[in-house]
Structure 1
Amino acid sequence: MSSPTKIPFLSFIQIDKKSNTPLYMQIANQFSNAIQRNYLLKGTKLPGTRKLSELLQINRNTVIAAYDELQAQGWIESKANKGTFVIEKTKNTPVKLKNSFEQYSSIYPDKAGFAFKQSNILDSPYEKITTKYYFTDGTPDNRLVQINQLSSFYSASIKRKTNKKKLNNSSYENNAFFLKNMANYLNLSRGLQINTQNILITNSSEMSLYIAAETLLSKEDKIIVTDLSYFSSNMTFQNKGAKVLTAGVDEEGIIIQHVENLCKKHKIRLLYITPHHHYPTTVTLSPQRRVQLLHLANKYGFVILEDDYDYEFHYDKSPIVPLASSDKNGMVVYTGSFGHSLIPGFKLGFIVAPKDVIHEMQKHLNVINPQGDILMQQVLAELIEEGEISRYLKKATKVYQERRNYFCKLLNEYFPDQISFNKPSGGLAVWVNWNKEINLYNLMKIALNNNLSIPKTLLYQNKDIRATRLGFGHLDKDEIEIVLSILHHSVNQL
């Protein structure tokens, strides 16, 4: 039996206080790793919690929690008046301890021994947020959600015997209740005239775009996006092998003449657009241009992939209904998100399209997500049927409208001559044009030093444009004042 005083624990227990993994779990994981590799043999006596805490220079309660975790996993046992011992069931001969944890943990190779395709297109542009305050491109505030009420709905649903039976089968009949309520909801809120066979439910709007690209595009297909567009969708299209062409955008949305000029020069397969609140500039596609765009789709035979990512949030007037609501020839595939005002686990994506397209898309969904979340769909259906979704959205929209107004008010106060913007009629972000000659990337670095993150994905700067998309939805009024104060201070430091 090894003496605990002779075992160099510091050689294989290394604590990273910056890691997201709790300290006690770091210790437990490294102990179990050492036991499995025979660094600590069966019968080895471990040091007492006080002694190990002094050795590792951590709180004793952390060591106690680590030992409790190891005992729960079956690696060690405590014997009264004797101590704590390893009980891993192996009888291998002792191995010589190495000098450091890194040496034995690096046994698993860092690089594959085979060739594989690597994608530069799909490299994530997102950065890790390290500051207390930050901007997003327009995300909701999960703090507004009444989590207890949502929890009670979910708890009640999962206890029903009829719902439990659905867990082993993801057939159409199992989510027919949700599809029916979803179709009714979309018909009422978006002016559509669809039935349950026109809807495909996905886990997210990103999954919807992926399935749409897989179904609608082939390699070398030419598609149109706006010259300022959503980078994630562009990545998806390019990764599919499509050739991306761009059309301009102004205060009325995509410029129709640019689209027609491209159609005359190329065989266009698809046009991707966010007409309700264009990403990133937040402008709304005018009714006249909507009619013209549908006319061009019919004339030249291209698919309109309409992404209504934040249709739920509109403030000053009734929103313009989607292009899909006026499509009489089956040229529009409509995607969006549902439950945007709820917490992430309650949000879903959806696709609305002609029945034959949905049938084909279902094949792709069956490959990447065959089961789906039947219980969650059941809960959301009940929230729709009982009017809870509408009540959630009404409350949230009122809060976001107040935040938008306050955000725009302070923008005018802090930057009266330095910026120009239009107050958005909906959505959770403001498109800000900078009149001042500034380098936005330098501003980003200065703001970071002032405890404010402005992700690179929000910065738009070239010889023709100098703008930022600043989200306000995730900030309360106090936070809005703080972040804009920091931004103002950072601009003055340029």
Structure 2
Amino acid sequence: MQLLSSVVIDKLSRQAVYLQIANQLMSLIRKGTLPSGYRLMSTRQLASMLNVHRRTVVLAYDELLAQGWLESHVGNGTFVAKNFPEIKLSRSDEHTKKQIKPSKKAGFEVPILSHLNRSVLKSGTGLHLDDGFPDARLAPLEELSRAYRSQLLTGNSYARLGYGDTHGSLWLRQELSVYLNETRGLNTTIANILIVRGTIMGLYLVSAGLLKPGDNVVVSELGWAGANNNFLQAGANLLTIPSDDYGIDLDALEKLCLKQPIRLLYVTSHHHYPTTVALRADRRVRLLQLAEQFGFIIFEDDYDYDFHYLSKPLLPLAGADQAGMVLYCGSFTKAISPVFRVGYLVGPENAIAHLAKLRRIIDRQGDTILENALADLLQNGVIQRHLRKSLRVYRQRRDLFCELLNMELENYVEFQVPDGGMAVWTKFDQKIDLPLLAQKALKKDLYFSDGSAHQQYSRIKNTTRLGFASSDPHELEKSVTILKNLI
């Protein structure tokens, strides 16, 4: 009876009382407190001790008998099953067991990988000069809601709600092929497109499927940690090259290629991240030539393609690729909202087929309902109209924000008005402690990055991205006023 004295019933718990009893008895058996072959008290005795109905204890015993924890001998009683190994704990073991909290710390080794230590940005402040996010208030949510509901409720439910193609929704790939060919000068069919959950998934698939440990990957000194971390996770060596007002330095790239084999180059050709500058046309031609000459993959990130303010954006490298060296990846997170995780990876058919097989083992398929809803919006021109509207709004916000920076913070910041994108690459006066300023701004309900995410490989200090697209004019004015007062 003493061994069962630790069984406690919580009448306020949502869990049935008989399951509480059964689970606590299982725990006592696992710990060795109730050893193999131990004879349990009768159901009547235990019910009396716990002050519950005998039927409740009978249910608990039946549950444990069914699972094999207990054995019943007719006329002799109920016992802990005899096939359990004997558990002997020394005093030191008992002390150690008491200290271990398995819900907190694993009993096995968990690797510590420093490149994974990135802070997760969450929306939480009233004001934000973020990394360059869209304004979800402009998104065509009503149209998307109607399209999503239609996909849920109409058509063959077995096909609609069952397993689909690992390449992604056929309808979305058909619409994307037309859309990308018309807007970006690509020459795709559905076989060239793999639907992914955003650019970060495209990067992961390419890193896991096409890189080997020890491969050399070239990135910009000023670049995106999200891409770099995928390459590091795959075991690649990161090699960096500088960038300037016209994009990445191709002389530096060629020197690296002459010294050692390069497997992949990551580039944001439309608006370099984080500086927003576009890769100049002559450099685009030369980059494709270098890729063909030295045999390296170009991962072209479609970053902010749709938001170019001075003229039509330069067409992607992928459209001029004659050697099959470019993988082109983009998403709808900037067109609609980051919460909608649908993107596309475009490349040669055999590469896409290979990556689709890899995608299957980590994510059987995407969100087919959402993918079909987006296909509906593409087919009906909703996304295209939304992008045209957003472009006008974001251009106005860019102009206002840059004017405010010039008027209110002229002596403290340097920047170039960006030709495109959703943020201003801003250099603060060296006398300003940027991390401290960011902390003080946060206390005023204003978020902006302290720039540390951009400093890992770069020699350029005290710079950060100040996003303007997600804030309306009044919010931009308030944000700049807060910065001015704090400085």
User: Under a length normalisation based on structure 2, what TM-score does the superposition of the two structures give?
Assistant: 0.77
* Contact 2:425-2:465 within 8 A present in 1 as well: yes
Do residues 486 (structure 1) and 452 (structure 2) align?
A: no
Q: Distance in 1 between matches of 2:330 and 2:176?
A: 12
Q: Distance in 2 between matches of 1:296 and 1:173?
A: 30
Q: 1:229 aligns with which of 208, 223, 234?
A: 223
Q: Secondary structure at the match of 1:168?
A: coil
1:112 partner letter: A
- 1:32 match: 14
Do residues 362 (structure 1) and 356 (structure 2) align?
A: yes
Alignment of 1:419-430 (within 5 A): 419-430=413-424
Over alpha carbons, which structure has the higher Rg? 2
Change (3 A) 1:356 1:460: closer
- 1:384 match: 378
1:124 Cα offset (Å): 2.3
- 1:303 match: 297
- 2:73 match: none
Q: Distance in 2 between matches of 1:174 and 1:418?
A: 48
Do residues 453 (structure 1) and 458 (structure 2) align?
A: no
- 2:197 match: 203
Change (3 A) 1:91 1:243: same
Q: 1:285 aligns with which of 279, 283, 286?
A: 279
Do residues 477 (structure 1) and 473 (structure 2) align?
A: yes
Change (3 A) 1:456 1:415: closer
* Contact 1:337-1:348 within 8 A present in 2 as well: yes
Q: Distance in 2 between matches of 1:417 and 1:228?
A: 25
Q: Secondary structure at the match of 1:311?
A: coil
- 1:158 match: 152
Q: Distance in 2 between matches of 1:483 and 1:34?
A: 53
Q: 2:396 aligns with which of 398, 402, 418?
A: 402
Change (3 A) 1:459 1:242: closer
* Contact 1:204-1:349 within 8 A present in 2 as well: yes
Q: Distance in 1 between matches of 2:293 and 2:140?
A: 48
* Structure 1: gaps of 5 or more residues: 1-11, 13-27, 39-85, 94-103
1:388 Cα offset (Å): 1.1
CA deviations 1:64-84 (Å, max 9, x no partner) are xxxxxxxxxxxxxxxxxxxxx
Change (3 A) 1:489 1:34: farther
Alignment of 1:266-277 (within 5 A): 266-277=260-271
Q: Secondary structure at the match of 2:263?
A: strand
Q: 1:169 aligns with which of 140, 143, 163?
A: 163
1:147 Cα offset (Å): 2.1
- 2:115 match: 121
Do residues 146 (structure 1) and 140 (structure 2) align?
A: yes
- 1:76 match: none
RMSD: 2.9
* Contact 1:126-1:455 within 8 A present in 2 as well: no
CA deviations 1:196-242 (Å, max 9, x no partner) are 10000011111111001112210000111000000111011011110
Q: Distance in 2 between matches of 1:445 and 1:413?
A: 23
Q: Secondary structure at the match of 1:468?
A: strand
Change (3 A) 1:280 1:345: closer
1:482 partner letter: K
CA deviations 1:169-202 (Å, max 9, x no partner) are 3137983222111100000111101111000001
1:480 partner letter: L
Q: Distance in 2 between matches of 1:321 and 1:129?
A: 33
CA deviations 1:358-392 (Å, max 9, x no partner) are 01001111111113222222221121111111111
Change (3 A) 1:318 1:128: closer
- 1:51 match: none
Do residues 416 (structure 1) and 410 (structure 2) align?
A: yes
Q: Distance in 2 between matches of 1:286 and 1:173?
A: 33
Q: Distance in 2 between matches of 1:223 and 1:344?
A: 27
Q: Distance in 2 between matches of 1:31 and 1:129?
A: 35
Q: Which deviates more from structure 2 when the two are superposed, residues 472-481 or residues 107-116?
A: 107-116
Change (3 A) 1:152 1:268: same
Change (3 A) 1:143 1:173: closer
* Contact 1:129-1:453 within 8 A present in 2 as well: no
Q: Secondary structure at the match of 1:224?
A: strand
Q: Distance in 2 between matches of 1:127 and 1:187?
A: 34
Do residues 349 (structure 1) and 343 (structure 2) align?
A: yes
Q: Distance in 2 between matches of 1:173 and 1:460?
A: 34
Q: Distance in 2 between matches of 1:242 and 1:406?
A: 42
Q: How many residues align?
A: 408
User: Under a length normalisation based on structure 1, what TM-score does the superposition of the two structures give?
Assistant: 0.76
* Contact 1:460-1:466 within 8 A present in 2 as well: no
- 2:461 match: 465
* Structure 2: gaps of 5 or more residues: 1-9, 22-51, 60-97
Q: Which deviates more from structure 2 when the two are superposed, residues 387-396 or residues 179-188?
A: 387-396
2:350 partner letter: D
* Contact 1:310-1:337 within 8 A present in 2 as well: no
2:470 partner letter: H
* Contact 1:459-1:469 within 8 A present in 2 as well: no
1:332 Cα offset (Å): 0.7
Q: Distance in 1 between matches of 2:15 and 2:115?
A: 37
1:381 partner letter: A
Alignment of 1:3-82 (within 5 A): 31-32=13-14, 37=20
1:433 partner letter: K
- 2:237 match: 243
Q: Distance in 1 between matches of 2:472 and 2:56?
A: 57
1:309 Cα offset (Å): 2.2
1:323 partner letter: L
Q: Secondary structure at the match of 1:351?
A: strand
1:448 Cα offset (Å): 2.6
Change (3 A) 1:455 1:418: closer
Change (3 A) 1:180 1:225: same
1:398 Cα offset (Å): 1.5
Q: Percent identity?
A: 37
* Contact 2:451-2:463 within 8 A present in 1 as well: no
* Contact 1:458-1:470 within 8 A present in 2 as well: no
Q: Distance in 2 between matches of 1:166 and 1:380?
A: 15
1:483 partner letter: S
1:459 Cα offset (Å): 6.0
Change (3 A) 1:448 1:173: closer
CA deviations 1:403-454 (Å, max 9, x no partner) are 1111111111111232221111221111012245322122222323333222
Q: Secondary structure at the match of 1:268?
A: coil
Q: Secondary structure at the match of 1:282?
A: coil
* Contact 1:238-1:244 within 8 A present in 2 as well: yes
